[in-house]
């Protein structure tokens, strides 16, 4: 309150509150009653040291600032109160703290959370609405329900679907992405503060990339990403004649480690990999049919597959 009365901008405080709660007030399921609003305003006056007499004396000087600050703080306080009350009594949260986690939502939709990701949704999910909040990266296979759209809210993207499969990566990176594997989704992209464009409809094998710094979006061919995420969601990478270089690019993305091959990159590979297995084990399985060797590079620079041939 003092900051605002002194003439400083309150927008930063509002932005912090919006980022913390990540929920639009219009979407909240509870509203403050008049008694609670009055109590909160009285508490603001008490903390600011404003009595009835002093309030009247200073009102003419600070009337507009006090009103604006009170409204802003009431809104922020309301968001805090409602979010805490709602989360405490009615919300279900699932976090993939230890590793990839697969769950089935009450409506039958399936979600695969990557490590560090989390979702939260109301206990009544699927009865009248299907709305949830995502942090991090997750793969969704949504059960069709014509009367209840499936909506995912995040810091940067709001995605609405009726029945489809897609991957969302909304970690706090320079770019966040939505890749559609099947069906159709509508994406409202924003940088956490304002919309970047009109809602975009994505169909199968299309990808939306939002630059969180510039608030600009790109629509690109997502065929290869759609293939990758469809495989990844099962926990098993299965190949039926894809090139070794394709396999290596997939393993690089899974394990975040550079992998190179000299002689066998264009060879066709037939086989499966379980994502949870050790990377070195995976590479030896890959190199075996081609009589190639796996060399671990120094200083954590990745792996090199040497020798071997496609014959």
- Could you write out the DSSP letters of every residue in 29-61? S----HHHHHHHHHHHHHHHT--HHHHHHHHHH
pLDDT of residue 195: 57
Q: Are residues 36 and 100 in the same domain?
A: no
Q: Are residues 184 and 67 in the same domain?
A: no
State how far the Cα of 243 lies from the Cα of 252, in Å rounded to an integer. Answer: 15
Between 308 and 64, the more confident residue is: 308
Mean per-residue pLDDT for 55-61? Answer: 46
Predicted confidence (pLDDT) per residue in 182-219, tens digit: 999 999 887 555 555 678 999 999 999 998 888 888 99
Instruction: Please say if the pLDDT value at position 269 is more than 60.
Output: yes
Lowest mean pLDDT among 54-58, 96-100, 287-291: 54-58
Q: Are residues 191 and 127 in the same domain?
A: yes
Predicted confidence (pLDDT) per residue in 34-44, tens digit: 455 566 556 65
Q: Are residues 198 and 214 in the same domain?
A: yes
Instruction: Please say if the pLDDT value at position 220 is more than 60.
Output: yes
Q: Are residues 100 and 220 in the same domain?
A: yes
Lowest mean pLDDT among 45-59, 110-124, 268-282: 45-59
Boundary residue ending a domain (49, 67, 90): 90
Between 51 and 25, the more confident residue is: 51
In-domain check, residue 311: no
Lowest mean pLDDT among 11-20, 93-102, 159-168, 173-182: 11-20
pLDDT of residue 251: 96
Q: Are residues 119 and 50 in the same domain?
A: no
In-domain check, residue 281: yes
In-domain check, residue 175: yes
Q: Are residues 218 and 289 in the same domain?
A: no
Q: Are residues 82 and 27 in the same domain?
A: yes
Instruction: Please say if the pLDDT value at position 303 is more than 60.
Output: yes
pLDDT of residue 42: 65
Measured torsion, CA atoms of residues 93, 96, 98, 102, in degrees rounded to the nearest 10: 110
> In the structure, what pLDDT confidence band is assigned to residue 51 with cuts at 50, 70 and 90?
low
pLDDT of residue 58: 47
pLDDT of residue 52: 55
In-domain check, residue 204: yes
Percent of the chain with pLDDT over 70: 69
Q: Are residues 193 and 277 in the same domain?
A: no
Do 242 and 269 form a contact (C-beta atoms < 8 A)? yes
pLDDT of residue 19: 41
- Identify the CATH number of the domain in which residue 195 sits: 2.60.120.1440
Q: Are residues 143 and 199 in the same domain?
A: yes
State how far the Cα of 105 lies from the Cα of 110, in Å rounded to an integer. Answer: 6
Beta bridge partners of residue 83, listed in sequence order: none
> In the structure, what pLDDT confidence band is assigned to residue 299 with cuts at 50, 70 and 90?
confident
Instruction: Please say if the pLDDT value at position 66 is more than 50.
Output: no
Boundary residue ending a domain (62, 90, 118): 90
In-domain check, residue 101: yes
In-domain check, residue 38: yes
Q: Are residues 219 and 102 in the same domain?
A: yes
pLDDT of residue 61: 43
Q: pTM (2 decimals)?
A: 0.66
Mean residue pLDDT across the chain: 79
pLDDT of residue 40: 57
pLDDT of residue 268: 97
pLDDT of residue 288: 95
pLDDT of residue 150: 94
In-domain check, residue 106: yes
Do 102 and 114 form a contact (C-beta atoms < 8 A)? no
pLDDT of residue 37: 52
- Identify the CATH number of the domain in which residue 262 sits: 3.55.50.30
* Number of domains the chain contains: 3
Instruction: Please say if the pLDDT value at position 93 is more than 70.
Output: yes
Boundary residue ending a domain (168, 198, 225): 225
Instruction: Tell me which residue range forms the domain holding 112.
Output: 96-225
Q: Are residues 125 and 211 in the same domain?
A: yes
Do 305 and 286 form a contact (C-beta atoms < 8 A)? yes
CA distances from 229 to 34, 180, 185, 190, 200 (A): 49, 9, 16, 24, 21
In-domain check, residue 230: no
pLDDT of residue 29: 39
């Amino acid at each position: 309150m003092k900051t605002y009365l002194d003439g400083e901008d309150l927008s930063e405080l509002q932005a912090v509150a919006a980022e913390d709660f990540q929920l639009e007030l219009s979407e909240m399921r509870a509203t403050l009653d008049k008694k609670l609003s009055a109590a909160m305003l009285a508490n603001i006056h008490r903390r600011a040291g404003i009595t009835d007499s002093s309030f009247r004396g200073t009102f003419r000087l600070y009337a507009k600032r006090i009103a604006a600050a009170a409204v802003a703080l009431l809104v922020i306080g309301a968001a805090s109160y409602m979010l805490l009350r709602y989360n405490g009594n009615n919300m279900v949260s699932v976090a993939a703290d230890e590793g990839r986690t697969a769950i089935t939502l009450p409506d039958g939709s399936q979600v695969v959370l990557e490590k560090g990701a989390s979702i939260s949704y109301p206990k009544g999910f699927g009865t009248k609405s299907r709305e949830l909040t995502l942090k991090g990266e997750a793969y969704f296979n949504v059960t069709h329900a014509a009367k209840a759209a499936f909506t995912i809210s995040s810091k940067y993207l709001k995605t609405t679907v009726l029945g489809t499969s897609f991957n969302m990566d909304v970690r706090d990176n320079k770019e966040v992405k939505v890749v559609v594997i099947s069906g159709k989704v509508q994406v409202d992209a924003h940088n956490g503060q304002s919309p970047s464009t009109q809602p975009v409809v994505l169909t199968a094998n299309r990808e939306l990339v939002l630059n969180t710094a510039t608030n600009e979006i790109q629509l690109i061919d997502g065929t290869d990403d759609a293939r990758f995420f469809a495989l990844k969601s099962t926990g098993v990478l299965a190949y039926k004649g894809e090139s070794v270089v394709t396999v290596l690019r997939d393993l690089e993305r899974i394990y975040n480690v550079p992998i190179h091959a000299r002689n066998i990159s264009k060879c066709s590979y037939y086989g499966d990999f379980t994502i949870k297995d050790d990377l070195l084990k995976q590479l030896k399985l890959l190199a075996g049919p081609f009589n190639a060797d796996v060399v671990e590079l120094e200083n954590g620079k990745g792996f090199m597959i040497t020798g071997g041939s496609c014959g």
